[in-house]
Structure 1
């Protein structure tokens, strides 16, 4: 049993978007008659999940309501259930659901998707099937630390949440994050929480740097009590940074974790990351968290032809190929590798990128 003076430490792992375009699940169907098998396409990712962190969260950008209500991709996504079972096999601890595609199949899609997450056995956050579900904090205990996960989306792709069912999706408007602050404060009063991790769906698609609104929102969420911010929506990796807030505390903000596994084409849309960060609570008498050692293991979803769409480690691509082929042309692999590492360490120069 940990005592009052003993340090408590975990490593949090996180990925960007898992967004299953038709070209991905069509290939997966070829590998399993009567179902979908993503094992080979994501075989290189499995060791990352198995060795990466004490708690792992993924951003499941597309609902997994399955064939029962019809699979589909852009602009209204619905994915095979099997991707969830693979994530369970990988050891994923929680799935983030609040995003601009969560209502792509309406209330029916959310409810069916949540039924599937429950059947798979992976907790979820950001979308809910009832008021009670929404009001139940997502807290994971590990190594003596209580980690609470919250999730919100700013955009809904033009879809409207039913007025009498606002619990379906956690949202916020513009740069106003008062509801996030209220939720954090309410949870603090009713539960012992050491760490707050807030996933946020915001920003501009394909922008390699966070917008001023992203920075403003993140600063407000930091001041509201978030210790770690995990950003999604731009579909490209943006450089993270530490935010010093008015309480004198630091928040680690990963403004965008980009795409992890998707069918999008475009050099930086195909580069993703498996990110880890260490969280330490020195002692009960000194509860100020130490959040350090951020690291990213870069990945690349190869789409050189329509039969591929396999995830590789970017460092392996660089070792094996002089050029990275995309639909826009060929790019020198070493130059791309160095460029993305320089880009991602813009505000945290000593961050490990590999």
Structure 2
């Protein structure tokens, strides 16, 4: 009898287990047969990768003081105040598969205090904060990377390696520096290679420390070498004329040539101000974005700018986040892509100084305007709040003025003031 009951109980338990698994399987909203990686199994699959890129992360002395002021601002993950500098931009980058920033500084513990005008250095907290924000590729080929000499250069590489932070454009040898990083994202191979037009203190040594100095023939040979072993190639370029709102004619020619040779997109930094976006049609009919300059991502430049200032003075505080979707489909066993939703998300470097503190941070204008509208509507209900209302309207007008300026410089159709979650139009 006991054996019969045990047998019946076992059958019931087995049946219940099957039914439970079926129920869980059918109710999982993300269920696609729960494959570990189904991106290579279906010839008709469509995979969308979103790229976001920011310009020059420049740790001016006052930027570091702002971080120090707000080192305990959040309950957790303050990164010694570096989170405060970039916290408002996280909603943009965390929505991207590829997040790129120009990290325009060494990160050298030996020379931690060796920071002065035009000679930069930061602690590891800057790397941690930017990774937390959503950056997963750091461009290190720029003119400030040797600011702390070869020792600082090598320590920078060590700090990135310790923090599992991917970087491009430099290495301890020329051979390694010229190899693109290749990221495998959802089964798609994205190659990224970075160049700088120059460095302030050229300490290049092909066997000890190397920054990729831009040479068109070298760049073309790298693209040729790696385009068959990757599904897309992004080229970043640090150079041009500082504070110029338009690229040099030779740079336009260089970038178009890179695209014609197989590059997917070119992203420019260094001028400290935004420049136009171009959608270039290649000789074989592809359309590719060229972001000639993203401007600064954060800095202390133009801290005296206000709404009555010369409009151009605020350009170094205008921030654009490059954004586009790579839409891959598999044809004849190989991934092919279209590029959609090419845009620039307008942001602004807020720079507020009082007698006792400095508050520098980059804010997302779209979200700031939404917040201001709510506050303005609330203030209108109370006659005693007219002073605050005037202040809020002034701030709103400043943001609208900067959006208008960015539309003129970058291109009206590219400025995206309605950035949303992933969607392909």
TM range (shorter): 0.7 to 0.9
* Count of matched residue positions in the alignment of Structure 1 and Structure 2: 339
Structure 1 spans left out of the alignment, 5+ residues: 326-330
Q: CA RMSD of the aligned region, Å?
A: 2.5
SS across alignment from 2:288: strand
Offset of 1:337 from its aligned partner? 2.0
Aligned partner (choices 196, 213, 224) of residue 171 of structure 1: 213
Please state whether the residue corresponding to 2:285 is helix, strand or coil: coil
Deviations 1:77-133 (A, max 9, x none): 112221101112223211011111111122112111111111111110001123564
Deviations 1:23-75 (A, max 9, x none): 11123223449x83212232212222222x11111111112224645341432
d(CA) in 1 for partners of 2:402, 2:179: 44
Name stretches of at least 5 consecutive residues in structure 2 with no aligned partner.
Answer: 1-37, 73-78, 303-312, 373-391, 419-425
Q: State the alpha-carbon separation in 2 of the partners of residues 59 and 95 from structure 1.
A: 6
Give 1 or 2 for the bigger CA radius of gyration: 2
SS in 2 for 1:38: helix
Contact 2:111 2:152 in 1 (8 A): no
| Structure 2 Cα separation of the partners of residues 312 and 42 of structure 1 | 8
More deviation, 147-156/265-274? 265-274
Q: Provide the rounded CA distance (Å) in 1 between the counterparts of 2:161 and 2:191.
A: 19
Q: Which moved more, 1:193-202 or 1:238-247?
A: 238-247
TM-score (norm 2): 0.73
Aligned equivalents of 1:73, 1:182: Cα separation in 2: 38
Using a 3 Å threshold, how does the CA distance of structure 1 residues 167 and 280 change in structure 2: closer, same or farther? farther
* CA–CA separation in structure 2 for the residues paired with 1:165 and 1:75: 27
- State the secondary structure of the residue aligned to 2:141: coil
Is residue 281–residue 287 contact of structure 1 (8 Å, CA) maintained in 2? yes
Greater helix fraction, Structure 1 or Structure 2: 2
Structure 1 SS opposite 2:250: helix
Contact 1:96/1:124, CA 8 A, preserved across alignment: yes
Q: What does residue 337 of structure 2 align with?
A: 289
C-alpha distance in structure 1 between counterparts of 2:62 and 2:137, whole Å: 26
Q: Name the residue aligned to 1:239.
A: 276
Secondary structure at the residue paired with 2:83? coil
Q: Does 2:348 align with 1:300?
A: yes
Structure 1 residue aligned with 2:320: 273
Shift of 1:345: 2.2
Q: Which residue of 1 aligns with 2:383?
A: none
TM-score, L = length of structure 1: 0.87
Does the Cα contact within 8 Å between 1:9 and 1:145 map onto a contact in 2?
A: no
How far does the alpha carbon of each residue in 1:224-281 deviate from its partner, in whole angstroms, 9 at most, with x for none? 2210111001111112111122333222111111111112114111110222200122
C-alpha distance in 1, partners of 2:231/2:155? 32
**Are 1:340 and 2:406 matched, yes or no?**
yes
CA deviation map 1:175-201 (0-9, x unaligned): xx1101111222235xx2000000001
User: Is 1:42 the counterpart of 2:86 in the alignment?
Assistant: yes
CA gap of 1:323–1:239, structure 2 versus 1, over 3 A, is farther
Q: What is the correspondence of 1:47-62 to structure 2 with a 5 Å cutoff?
A: 47-51=91-95, 53-62=96-105
Distance in structure 1 (CA, Å) of the matches to 2:151 and 2:320 = 32
Deviation, 1:350, is 5.9
Partner of 2:159, secondary structure, is helix
In the TM superposition, 1:134-213 aligns within 5 A as: 134=177, 136-157=179-200, 159-165=201-207, 168-173=210-215, 177-188=216-227, 192-213=229-250
Give yes or no for the alignment of 1:7 onto 2:31.
Answer: no
Segment of structure 1 superposing worse, 234-243 or 64-73:
64-73
Q: Check whether the contact 2:196–2:238 (CA below 8 A) recurs between aligned residues.
A: yes
* Aligned match of 1:17: 56
Matched with 1:352 is 416
Q: Matches of 1:163 and 1:50 in 2, distance apart?
A: 37
Between Structure 1 and Structure 2, the one with more strand by share is 1
